[in-house]
Structure 1
Amino acid sequence: MATRFLCFLWVLGIAIFIGGGVRGSLAAIYAGRFIAGLGVGQTPVVGPVYISEVAPASIRGLCVTFFSGSVYIGIVLAYFTNYGCAVNLDEHGYNRWVVPTSLHIIMAGIIFILSFLQLESPRFLVKQKRPRDAAVVMAHLRKQPVDGKYVTAEIARIQEALDRELEATQGVGWLGQVKEMFFDPANLYRLYLTTMVQLLSQWSGAGSITLYAPDLFKILGIVGSEEGLLVTAVFGIVKLVAALVCALFLVDVIGRKRSLLLGIALQAISVIYVASFLTAIPQLGVDEGFVLPEADRGASRGAIAMIYLSGCGWALGWNSMQYLLTAELFPLRIRALATSWAMTLHFANQYGNSRAVPVMLLPVSKHGISPSGTFWCFAAVTLLGGFWVWFSVPETGGRSLESMDRLFDLPWYQIGRRGNRHAEEQDLAHEEKERTIVDKESIVHKREKTETIDF
């Protein structure tokens, strides 16, 4: 239902936007963008949460990372649509902007239709006190019998985790969820992780590089608007491929934390090179009449290649993990609320960064920090983010959503470096305890059976 509602808002907003643009109504344009934003803004909450709740732990990273990678499918379509319209359509006609904008309606329509094939999350059904329906859905998703051992055990784990959460709830209703999110130490640390992920990822500059790619490529030496759009479209393909590589070969193989650190390392190398190049040739992006000397063309192409590499790093690291970590860290009862908090921060920082970067790129004489200063700023935030991930972020790969609590039993300064090892020790102790209980029950059952036979 949430998926269909967001699609409705999405289409309604875009329809108002297009109608306002055709009629020349600025108020309708703003209203349409706002309503469409209310719909689109729900997708990074509904999508990752749903996927993380229905996917098995062994491939949860792959599935959620495919979601984050699908963003680049939209980016590639948008880039090439803009390029095709710039080449083939009259620059003064309505179709030049109506055709690219109509892609929103097509995508929202496809999602709306496919939502009728979507099953409800088993964890949501358990939360709604419908365990039998949850078992039916789980059996369908796992291709197992409804009353089979696997489905029964997984539903029991979900129910047990939810019961523990409800027992520990500090209040009732939504107020109780807010108190649980902000006043429980383990949840507060998770909130700290998701907040810092959004802050450091957005201000590392990769989102603005995507948004202002044509302008940045122009600063680095690409001339001609059509050439700039084509280079930008290729940039989108590079990021899409990198996201798919991360989903298929990294996130569930080497783990979330190592994938994130690898992406940050690539991003740091890239922005440091670009910052150094712009420092060596300070006229770029500052002096409008400056022509790049032929001797520096090779370094310019290297800087453009580094922009592509930064896109790979972003897709492998921050962009994939900002959705995945947010969706899988929190307990079931507050997962949707906490993810909404994280995505609100995501869009707030994205908006702030998108507004700040054009000013940052201005020369110092115009109250900016220049292109070189902007990329040095990106480099500093990226390096800070790498250190923070190493120190603060625990490894969550391969762990069921119900066992995440074990990562946060340690003091806050040990969670990032020792949380996973501590959780694995607790897993072994829990399994040993369950095995002992099963063995005792088996011995009692055999004894009772023997006494019955003797009798």
Structure 2
Amino acid sequence: MVKLSKVEDRPTPPNVYNWRVYVNAIIATFAATMIGYDSAFIGTSISLASFKEEFSLATKSTAELNLISANIVSMYQAGSFAGAILGYPVGYFLGRKWGLFSAAVIFVIGAILQTVANSSIGLGIIYAGRVIAGIAIGVASNLAPIYVAEIAPPAIRGRLIGLYELMWQIGGVIGFWINYGVSLNLPVGHKQWVIAFAVQLIPGGLLLVGSLLLSESPRWLVSRDRNDDAMVSLSFIRNLPPEHPYIVEEMASIEATIQHERSLTGAGFLGPARAVFVSKALLLRLALGSLMFVWQNATGINAINYYSPTIFESIGVTGQNSSLLTTGVYGIIKLVGALVWLIYLVDQFGRRAVLIGGSAGGAVCMYYIAAYIAIAKPAENPTTSLTPGGKSAIAFFYLWTIFYSPTWNGTPWVYTAEIFPQHVRVFSQACMAASNWLYSFLIARFTPQMFTAMGYGVYLFFASLMIVSIPFVFLYVPETKQIPLERMDNIFAPGLPPWHAHRTVMQSIQHEQHAYRGKGQEFQPTSKTSVEENGSEKEEIEHVDRV
């Protein structure tokens, strides 16, 4: 049976785990549905014969077709990179709620431009629409994880932020299957390919309407000196009256943390950026977060998402419908993996263990696929049906998906939404989202050329990178599960080994809980902690020193 127990940082009333916090998280993370849909539908859409005929791509050389395909796909990532950076001022000045609303409006405009494209207008309007939609996605990918991290109770924070990944995979499943459906049921023509582009308007419109129903982040409201509004919002989200001790304590903790952070950086727009770039500790954290997305893309996920028909053809799958069907099954496996990660793995096993396991298992699968292609050479020996070796390669590809989906797919988003203090969180998340889209852009832009030039070497390349990611995670990525946001600095304390950090800080929190209960008081996190290791070694960790 799935274990859904919660390990709490302090005694928590059951009211806190109510439908309101889940509904707010679902609405915010619905932005990821738009991302998942695009990552799945665009590669299969441009592979349709109807799309190639509409824009006269069937007569292009391999090099020309690779370039056009890469441009169509990667314009979205280029826009998302710019949007992720833009998300910082949007999140700072407009907040999380209205920032997401603005992103939804921009996305709908971009989706409309892509939908009205035809042969007489040309591909230019598709390029423009994908850049505009990408800008919106960059903003949303910045703000959605931040918002959820800020409203979530610590015990279910990973699960709630993980909804972002779940929504991503739901969008992906729809995107992977829609082109199979239109290719199977509609004749070759304009309607066949344009339907998939038009479907983008559905998640965009739903986010636009849903964002109006969000409760603004109490942490952002306090950062804007709107403490009364913050109390109302926090009380509503927690489903407790403002005078309840839990609300009073959480509000006091938020106010104290933000006041302390302001004393370090000031309250201005540029203060968070200055705070990051003058702090060695935060720069190291920024580099760590960015590298998480390097290793995520190093698994090969975006090459597979955006060019899945090419991937399956390299293994030996022939025929457009067969390729699209195989891709659709891949999408379903990713969704199931995301569900397992969301309801069980992320808050039970934490971040480090799942990343290491995903890299190890995924690398073995990629090496097998590379070996099969190198030996069987399916591209040089085409058949009307898959050979037993080809079927085993497909099985290992699906096994790779099982290893990847509940590990590297969503964990970097959860991790980078957690590890930065409030006063730099919007700026740091902008950098994290921009990192993701930059690396995704590079993969999307050069994958077609890589497969043409490297063949099975592409699989060896990604497999080897996954192996290299294992010591990186062990040596540099401290565990963050169940750690309150106000205590993340303790996790990154100087001299504290990443592989011992979580146990050390949790022991400290439990020690404080016992001390407060012994005095008849309720536990409240502080910025200075006495950390005890193995019952003998004590280390005083000062919040100011770390930041």
TM-score of the superposed pair, with normalisation by structure 1: 0.88
Determine the structure 2 residue equivalent to 1:163.
259
Determine the structure 2 residue equivalent to 1:291.
382
**Deviations 1:312-335 (CA, angstroms, capped at 9, x unpaired):** 222211111121011111111111
CA shift, 1:279, in A, is 2.6
More displaced 10-residue stretch of structure 1: 114-123 or 265-274: 265-274
The amino acid that maps onto 1:370 is: G
1:13–1:34 contact (8 Å) kept in structure 2: yes
2:107–2:137 contact (8 Å) kept in structure 1: yes
Distance across 1 between alignment mates of 2:408 and 2:117: 36
Structure 1 unaligned segments of length 5 or more: list them. Answer: 363-367, 440-455
Show the 5 A alignment for 1:189-338: 189-281=284-376, 283-285=377-379, 287=380, 290-291=381-382, 297-338=387-428
The amino acid that maps onto 1:396 is: T
The amino acid that maps onto 2:303 is: S
More displaced 10-residue stretch of structure 1: 345-354 or 311-320: 311-320
Change (3 A) 1:284 1:182: farther
Determine the structure 1 residue equivalent to 2:473.
389
Distance across 2 between alignment mates of 1:139 and 1:307: 47
2:492–2:498 contact (8 Å) kept in structure 1: no
Determine the structure 2 residue equivalent to 1:422.
504
Distance across 1 between alignment mates of 2:274 and 2:383: 58
**What percentage of residue pairs aligned between the two structures are identical?**
29
CA shift, 1:14, in A, is 1.5
Show the 5 A alignment for 1:354-369: 354-362=444-452, 368-369=453-454
CA shift, 1:161, in A, is 1.3
The amino acid that maps onto 2:286 is: L
2:491–2:501 contact (8 Å) kept in structure 1: yes
| Alignment partner of 1:94 is 2:190 | yes
1:204–1:381 contact (8 Å) kept in structure 2: yes
1:262–1:316 contact (8 Å) kept in structure 2: no
Determine the structure 2 residue equivalent to 1:443.
none
What secondary structure, in the 3-state scheme, does the structure 1 residue paired with 2:299 have? coil
Distance across 2 between alignment mates of 1:23 and 1:293: 37
Determine the structure 2 residue equivalent to 1:132.
228
Distance across 2 between alignment mates of 1:22 and 1:3: 33
Distance across 2 between alignment mates of 1:23 and 1:123: 50
Distance across 2 between alignment mates of 1:247 and 1:137: 26
**Deviations 1:191-217 (CA, angstroms, capped at 9, x unpaired):** 121111111111221221122222211
Q: 2:462 aligns with which of 371, 378, 398?
A: 378
Determine the structure 2 residue equivalent to 1:351.
441
Determine the structure 2 residue equivalent to 1:447.
none
Distance across 2 between alignment mates of 1:319 and 1:257: 13
The amino acid that maps onto 2:503 is: R
Change (3 A) 1:334 1:370: same
Structure 2 unaligned segments of length 5 or more: list them. Answer: 1-97, 522-547
| Alignment partner of 1:74 is 2:171 | yes
1:239–1:311 contact (8 Å) kept in structure 2: yes
2:475–2:499 contact (8 Å) kept in structure 1: yes
The amino acid that maps onto 1:94 is: H
Alignment: residue pair count: 424
CA shift, 1:262, in A, is 2.3
What secondary structure, in the 3-state scheme, does the structure 2 residue paired with 1:374 have? helix
| Alignment partner of 1:4 is 2:89 | no
CA shift, 1:251, in A, is 0.6
| Alignment partner of 1:400 is 2:484 | yes
The amino acid that maps onto 1:406 is: N
Distance across 1 between alignment mates of 2:416 and 2:113: 32
The amino acid that maps onto 1:41 is: G
**Deviations 1:8-67 (CA, angstroms, capped at 9, x unpaired):** 100111212222436424432222221111112222112111111111111111111121
The amino acid that maps onto 1:291 is: P
Change (3 A) 1:26 1:358: closer
Q: 1:46 aligns with which of 136, 143, 162?
A: 143
The amino acid that maps onto 2:475 is: F
The amino acid that maps onto 1:377 is: F
**Deviations 1:186-244 (CA, angstroms, capped at 9, x unpaired):** 21221121111111111221221122222211221212110110110111010001001
**Deviations 1:373-429 (CA, angstroms, capped at 9, x unpaired):** 111111110011122111111110001111111011123xx4422222332344345
2:162–2:410 contact (8 Å) kept in structure 1: yes
Q: 2:432 aligns with which of 313, 330, 342?
A: 342
What secondary structure, in the 3-state scheme, does the structure 1 residue paired with 2:235 have? helix
Determine the structure 2 residue equivalent to 1:154.
250
Larger radius of gyration: 1
1:410–1:419 contact (8 Å) kept in structure 2: no
Distance across 2 between alignment mates of 1:109 and 1:63: 22
Determine the structure 1 residue equivalent to 2:209.
113
Change (3 A) 1:388 1:42: same
CA shift, 1:252, in A, is 0.6
Determine the structure 1 residue equivalent to 2:82.
none
CA shift, 1:157, in A, is 1.0
CA shift, 1:437, in A, is 7.7
Distance across 2 between alignment mates of 1:299 and 1:140: 57
**Deviations 1:81-139 (CA, angstroms, capped at 9, x unpaired):** 11111112221x22112210111111111111111221111111111112222222222
